Amino acid sequence: MTEKGAFRRDMNYLADRVTADGRDGWPVEPGRYRLVIARACPWANRASIVRRLLGLEDVLSMGICGPTHDERSWTFDLDPGGRDPVLGIERLQQAFFARDPEYPRGITVPALVDVASGQVVTNDFKQMTLDFSLEWRAHHREGAPELYPEPLRAEIDDVAEKVFHDVNNGVYKAGFASSQDAYEQAYRDLFGRLDWLSQRLAGQRYLVGDTITEADVRLFTTLVRFDAVYHGHFKCNRAKLTELPVLWAYARDLFQTPGFGDTIDFAQIKEHYYVVHRQVNPTGIVPLGPELSGWLSPHGREELGGRPFGDGTPPGPPPAGERVPELPSAD
């Protein structure tokens, strides 16, 4: 938090990378690492989506923390005995301390953990998904999409950076602001960027090019949480997503695309924000709404053309142990 009451995210993550050539000491190897996420977290949600789209489930296992945590860290309370069945730990904190017993920063998801040593390799969420696309290529499924195609990388990076500052992180800057001025600036930046995105997406199906890219993944995880959490909990209330026609149709299009909506658990998302953020919601009461069936309603975005997976194909259904609750039908 700055002196003027503005929220500032600590972006100093463990910067080691898992690469094809192992130049940081962590080579890509099937079965060696475990991706730890929480369904509630938008940054972790990116990793789970990209892993699904690229078909890395068989080579990169996934541990799922529960939706709430205390000041010590995320916990594996969804697993029998409250212990991750592969890593054998109760708290993600244990994997960070295995890497550095004096680790001074936040215990965050997503995290890639080396199974044999129990050490966190990286929690750098921005680089992690790009490496899934580039460094894990030898293990992609047949028909995996190009989420970070070389000719479009500069544009993807530019759009993603704008979205990060004003939207992904912008909702947090509004929600955690401790001064009126800081809140109002974040609010204006957020909705200014959402208006910009609406204009950009009015005539094209996806953010960059005519296929789904990393940029779409990054925007989606904030949009899908907008009405359930950010509109009320974080005071981002100029309009609901459902009141922004272009972005609402765009978000539904992605939600109904295999690999996106099948990673979303709205109950866990709401429980996390409304229970954990007691400085914002002191009672810990979790709202019953919003109505969710609209996520399955027709979106009409096919008329804009585009090919979701380019020359590739949709991923198959998620593994049995990774399925999320189905939404009620929109009919």
Residue 1 domain-assigned?
no
> For the residues 205-211, what does the mean pLDDT come to?
98
62-106 pLDDT, tens per residue? Answer: 999 999 998 888 999 999 999 999 999 999 999 999 999 999 999
Question: How many domains are contained in the chain?
Answer: 1
Active centre residues (catalytic): 41, 172
Residue 9 domain-assigned?
no
- The rounded distance, in Å, linking the Cα atoms of 180 and 6 is 9
Residue 176 domain-assigned?
yes
243-281 pLDDT, tens per residue? Answer: 999 999 999 999 999 999 999 999 999 999 999 999 999
Residue 132 has pLDDT above 70, yes or no: yes
The candidate with the shortest Cα–Cα distance to 122, out of 110, 112, 109, is 112
Amino acid present at 209: G
Residue 296 domain-assigned?
yes
171-203 pLDDT, tens per residue? Answer: 999 999 999 999 999 999 999 999 999 999 999
- The rounded distance, in Å, linking the Cα atoms of 173 and 230 is 11
Residue range(s) defining the domain that contains residue 232: 152-263+288-312
Residue 6 pLDDT: 85
Residue 233 domain-assigned?
yes
Amino acid present at 99: R
* pTM, rounded to two decimals: 0.97
Binding residues for glutathione: 74
CATH number for 293: 1.20.1050.10
Residue 146 domain-assigned?
no
Residue 182 domain-assigned?
yes
- The rounded distance, in Å, linking the Cα atoms of 226 and 249 is 14
Residue 72 domain-assigned?
no
Binding residues: 74
Contact 22, 29 (CB under 8 A): no
